[in-house]
Amino acid sequence: MKKVEIYTKGYCPFCTRAKSLLDSKNIEYTEYKIDLQPELRDTMIDRANGGYTVPQIFINNQHLGGCDDMMALEKQKKLDSLLA
């Protein structure tokens, strides 16, 4: 299984939506809560090539993007192959 990482904030509806999609697919992921660990914010921005909004999602250290990017891949039926 692929390594999935997601940077989130607790009050973010897009984070909740992205995690719900991963949960519905029974995908295990590592969550970094940057509102509770603000020191991780700079790491997230560096890894996301300047992306500063949450969520920021990574699969096997490759930047996927945010919630809308993941939902677009799901709609195109391309997400499962990335997660397999």
**pLDDT value for 72:** 98
Confidence (pLDDT) at 17: 98
* pLDDT value of position 75: 97
- Within 8 A by CB and 6+ apart from 71, the residues are 17, 18, 21
**Gap between the Cα atoms of 80 and 82, Å rounded:** 5
Read off the pTM. 0.95
Please give the domain boundaries of the chain with CATH numbers for all domains: 4-83 (3.40.30.10)
5 vs 18: CA distance, rounded Å: 11
> For helices 13-24 and 67-75, what crossing angle results, to 10°?
40
Residue 16 has which token pair? 């909740």
User: Would you write out the chain's pLDDT as a tens digit for each of its 84 residues?
Assistant: 689 999 999 999 999 999 999 999 999 999 999 999 999 999 999 999 999 999 999 999 999 999 999 999 999 999 999 998
